[in-house]
Amino acid sequence: MVDTVIENLFAALDNGVVLTGEALTGRYSHIWKTSSQLEAKAVLLPKSTEDLSTICRICYEHNQPIVLHGGLTGLVGGTESQITDIVISLQRLNQIEEVDTLCRTMTVQAGCILESIHQIAAAHDLFFPLNFGAKGSAQIGGCIATNAGGLRVKRFGMTRNLILGLEVVLANGKIINSLKKIIKNNAGYNLNQLFIGSEGTLGIITRATLKLEEKLVNRTSVFVGLSHFEDAIRLLRFCDLKFSGLLSAYEILWANTFEVLASKYKPLFGDKHRFYVLLEVLDNHSQLFKDLVFQVFEEALEKNMIQDAVFAHDAEDHALFWSIREDVEVLNAKAKFQQHFDVSVPINQMASYVEKVTFELAKVKAIEHVFCFGHLADGNLHFVVGKNTAETPLISMVNEIIYTPLKSIGGSISAEHGIGLEKKEWLSLCRSEEEMEVMLNIKNALDPKHLLNTGKIFD
Ligand SMILES: Cc1cc2nc3c(=O)[nH]c(=O)nc-3n(C[C@H](O)[C@H](O)[C@H](O)COP(=O)(O)OP(=O)(O)OC[C@H]3O[C@@H](n4cnc5c(N)ncnc54)[C@H](O)[C@@H]3O)c2cc1C
């Protein structure tokens, strides 16, 4: 049967932009599902903002739903599609357009991989702080669409703090260009911020101007063993006090999580501990400062805040420490099926929340492991729940155990990954009816036919 949208797209775009039929073989919806064939009637590979505008205009005229693909590392089903959808991949929009060393900005296309942005910034003696385990695959457009967080939020903020300008294509094909290099712009509503974190439901991000920092040459990473969760909070305050703003990462791992993550490397600690903190200080000071860091941990040891501390002495140690924290796929491998969570919890409620949740999960027979870790300084916890079945009632039960307590303690069902498909039925736990109504009004104003990432965040 002839599909008019596809016909129109073929007619309007260059060869190779529209892929259908056999050309979709080997395409998938997530980097962890490479053996499951993508469901879509076509995959589009635009080469420019203008291509995207044409695509959106044609899809809008034909009420054609669109699913957006960035680096496919998202963890809430945001890139899942159906056979009736058209998938647009941003992979070809991958040019770094400009590095402005005076304004300290970089203007990039949405399909640029985060790690290549790090490398280009470093080549100009500059630094882009956004950093997390999937940096080798995640695209900057995907990071912006999800307002990604990661390892250095403590000091530099989430993606929304790192973006100065955006170019966005709306559902009807209109292009909004606000690629400015200025930090302050109070001229009316901040539209850029509206698109950041909107998970591709309000517009398609095509280009961005990123805010860069001066390169930080000294990196101190310390792995610490502790016996009480409260000590991790004390140590956080102590480090903030001593390092006056230079602490850039502060990660916590529960003992069973650390043991699995560290199992393939040589042992770091002589003894076992109940909690582990991995922290990072970035600075441009002299050796004197490095000595101060040592002294701080000696003092923490004397004050019984910590049980042990191991320092990274060279690049190899740094790589080892951060591989332990970032290579979380090892946790996935421990069970046949998993559920992933990224919740926000006020820091003073964290220990009791985790205790309660793990106690409840331990009662469920089909659950084999519960791994907990997270960005402690941001109040952000991750759980990987390993199970021996993927049955729907079990998925709902695990969701309920993890999400329900968040309402009364003022937490959030998503600290960083977003809502996508997987969390939408729980959205009302952390958003009021009034907030959801305003969100829906915004969606209706920008995408009145609900064509962009249909069914994500809202039904
Ligand atoms: C090992 C691992 C570790 C991770 N660690 C973290 C972490 O610490 N912090 C964190 O925040 N996340 C983390 N994530 C989740 C994920 O990497 C982030 O959400 C990332 O920002 C997604 O980028 P992506 O390019 O892969 O986007 P995708 O997965 O391709 O897409 C994510 C969402 O954005 C939409 N989208 C993609 N590109 C665009 C665009 N150009 N315009 C509009 N919408 C678009 C998609 O439709 C989808 O809804 C991790 C993931 C993995 C696998």
pLDDT tens-digit map of 272-331: 999 999 999 999 987 777 888 899 999 999 999 999 999 999 999 999 999 999 998 899
Whether pLDDT at 374 is above 70: yes
Residue nearest atom 47 in ligand 1 by C-alpha distance: 68
For residue 143, how far is its CA from the centre of ligand 1 (angstroms)?
5
Task: For the chain, give the longest Cα–Cα distance.
Answer: 76
CB-based contact 226:252 (threshold 8 Å): no
pLDDT of residue 2: 67
Question: Binning pLDDT at 50, 70 and 90, where does residue 210 land?
Answer: very high
pLDDT tens-digit readout, 77-135: 999 999 999 999 999 999 999 999 999 999 999 999 999 999 999 999 999 999 998 99
What sign has the CA pseudo-torsion 23, 29, 34, 39? negative
C-alpha 138 – ligand 1 centre gap (Å): 6
Q: Alpha-carbon distance 266 to 235, whole Å?
A: 26
Burial of 146 (0-12, 13-18, 19+ CB in 10 A): buried
Handedness of CA 408, 414, 418, 424 (dihedral sign): negative
CA nearest 366: which of 338, 342, 343?
Answer: 338
Three-state secondary structure call for residue 350: helix
Pocket test for ligand 1, best of 68, 192, 456 (most atoms within 8 A of CB): 68
**What pLDDT is attached to residue 1?**
60
- The predicted pLDDT at position 290 comes to 80
Task: Please give the pLDDT value at position 241.
Answer: 96
CB 249 within 8 A of CB 339: no
Q: Which two tokens stand for residue 356?
A: 């309660």
Looking at residue 458, its pLDDT comes to 87
Please give the average per-residue pLDDT across 157-177, as a whole number. 98
- Per-residue CA distances from 441 to 173, 382, 427, 430, 436 (Å): 20, 31, 16, 18, 9
Ligand 1 pocket check for 139: Cβ under 6 Å: yes
Residue 14 pLDDT > 80:
yes
Of the candidates 151, 156, 155, 157, the one whose C-alpha atom is nearest the C-alpha of residue 375 is: 151
- Kindly report the number of other CB atoms within 10 A of residue 392's CB atom: 8
How far does the centroid of ligand 1 lie from the alpha carbon of residue 273, in Å?
33
Location of structure tokens 């932009």: 17
- CB distance 142 to ligand 1 below 6 Å: yes
